[in-house]
Amino acid sequence: MKPYDRMKELVEKLNRYAALYYEEDAPVISDAEYDAMYDELRALEEREGYTLKNSPTHRVGGAPQKKFEPSRHLLRLYSLDKCKTEGEIAEWYERIVKAVGKEPEITAEYKFDGLTLNILYEGGKLVKAATRGDGVTGEEVTAQVKTIAGVPRTISYTGRIEIQGEGIMRLSALAAYNAKSDEPLKNARNGAAGAIRNLDPAVTASRNLSFMAYNIGYSDRHFASQREMHDFLTEEGFETESDFAVLKGADAAFAFAEKVGELRPSLDFLIDGVVFKVNDTALRDEIGYTEKFPKWAIAYKFKADEMTTVLRDVVWQVSRSAKLNPLAVLDPVDIGGVTVRRATLNNYGDILKKKVKIGDRVFIRRSNDVIPEIMGVAEEAPDAKEVEKPTVCPACGAPVREEGAFLYCTGEHCAPQIVSCLDHFASKDAMDIDGFSEKTAEQFYNELHMTSPVGLMRLKKEDIVGLERFGDKKADNLIAAIAAAKDTTMDRLLFALGIDGIGKKTAKDLAARFGTFEALEKADRDALTAVDGIGEILADNIVSYFADEDNLRLIADLFASGVTVREAEKKSGVFEGMRVVLTGSLPTYKRGEATALIEENGGEVASSVSKTVDLVLAGSDAGSKLEKAQKLGIRIIDEEEFKRMLGIAPAL
């Protein structure tokens, strides 16, 4: 294709996608896909030395919608230039140094993924709020923005000032909204943009939005630096980014970006990068602007965690709890350097709520190591087919039982259930049988007709020696591993049983509270819900499990096969006897590392704040748990104090 024809094609596509994104809040491709086409167009324009008249490379945002009153900004809002590599950060900083003749300080902050807002205050009162629009004129959304609890109606500064920031929907708010809504939102960004650009403020209010302030546009007051702006916004009661930093040099900038990239999966809101700005506002005037963005700022974009692709099929898999789980088969797509071919759809109810059909182009989100999930439909295919609900188990052919949004196999000897059950029972965090794998579980099911963990615990060398992959030495090793695993703790055995809803932590909490299986068997709903993190649904599930004669027989047979439960070793240390809650992101420790240190030093880690909690370890973006701890008067420490308590950092 000739350069002109390709440029024309890209311009037409990008303008269409931008209109859907900015003006209708109905994107059909991901940000990463849009950015890739935009970068291709910009590279073509630079190489060919010309641009088409309607090229999006000269436009900021989108045109205001006619259903809103237009609102002209007092000071133009610019877009940001973007970069994706450490080298590109260094090139940008080198240009800055060359322009001002020295190495200036730069600020670093999150790049929020929501809808840009410009809020005007006069005489200390909020008088108008608008979207960014095309950078010069936006849509007036004052009534909608006034429903956002975190936006102050009044501030102490009585001059004329524009406060800029991002309207966002926290992920917890998105989850709460989707749990109750018949029309789930595809993602938090769409949730925020659609709420603000809705003529009914009640819709905005229903989505429980937040506002993150990060900049000042027009102002009667002079601000000498971005640091001064940030402090002003915080003092006036706006929610601001807690990881805001002042740095010097490209190396420090990239280190900040890497740290934020690691924290990103733990945040309760979407960010798609980090924004760097020259701190000194006087230097900004020297550096200047392009037609579209300031030269003194740049956005470092993270690898994509959301893309679109075509849903080709849905297959149903059987879990160890007999639940049928739908698995989406996709056209392969690269998300953050990982090729994704499969994604979860949760359950049949989820398929209906998201209106997903085979053949549609769908949004796929992959966060950290979590299994990719289909978020919603990007574009409907004219020949798309409904996803059929199975009436029989795809593995064994037994009838399917429907319970709420879930489907269950009713077969007693369904191979995938049994293999998964055996594999889970022997896993590292359960009975920890070294040398036993899912492949071994499948082999024992097929060749030894093993259908229960009891059979595994009763296994003898003569049962397996001579099987494929099992010579004398390997058989001896497995039998020795099984014998060693029989001496276990209550929490390990409880987790190994695979009771629906009981993970490692809940198993530990139950073991600590009840001490024996006999006591747990007798526990009623009230006794169970008194345990931290156990709600009524899980409590009922546990009661039902221990009311089932087959389950009680399984436990009795395990003990008869030689399984013994020893008392868990009690740890001692600085946190002995203390219940500790972790909240927010710590500067250096991951949550799992901090949890292990607390438990190794005698403490118990709780998931929620209550009067029974002794200590709260709080990091950045701590949120509601920190607020509750403050109200209850619970002692709160940061990571430095945590290290001092452990003797890792010197005492003050």
Please give the positions annotated as active site.
111
Question: Tell me, what amino acid is at 126?
Answer: L
Beta strands in 77-169 (DSSP E): 82-83, 105-112, 115-122, 125-131, 137-139, 161-168
Rounded to an integer, what is the distance from CA 299 to the centroid of its chain? 21
CB atoms within 10 A of CB 526: 9
* Chain CA centroid to CA 210, Å: 17
Is 331 in a helix, a strand, or coil? strand
Cβ atoms 46, 29 nearer than 8 A = no
β-sheet with 245-248: strand ranges across: 82-83, 297-301, 271-278, 105-112, 245-248
Contacts of 459 (CB under 8 A, 6+ apart): 478, 479, 482
- Cβ contact 479:461 at 8 Å: yes
Cβ(192)–Cβ(170) below 8 Å = no
The continuous run of DSSP H or E covering 478 comes out as: helix 472-485
Which whole-number Å values give the CA distances from 487 to 200, 285, 479, 515, 581, in the listed order? Answer: 63, 72, 14, 16, 31
Residues for the chain: how many in total? 652
Residue 212 near residue 239, CB atoms below 8 Å = yes
Residue 442's closest CA among 466, 415, 463, 461? Answer: 415
DSSP states of 274-292: EEEEESBHHHHHHH-B-SS
Bridge partners (DSSP) of residue 111 are 273
Cα Rg of the chain, angstroms: 29
Q: Which two tokens stand for residue 273?
A: 């990068």
CB neighbours of residue 43 within 10 Å: 10
Q: In sequence order, what DSSP letters do the residues of 605-643 get, joined into one string?
A: EESS--TT--EEEE-BT-THHHHHHHHHT-EEE-HHHHH
DSSP annotation of 24 reads T
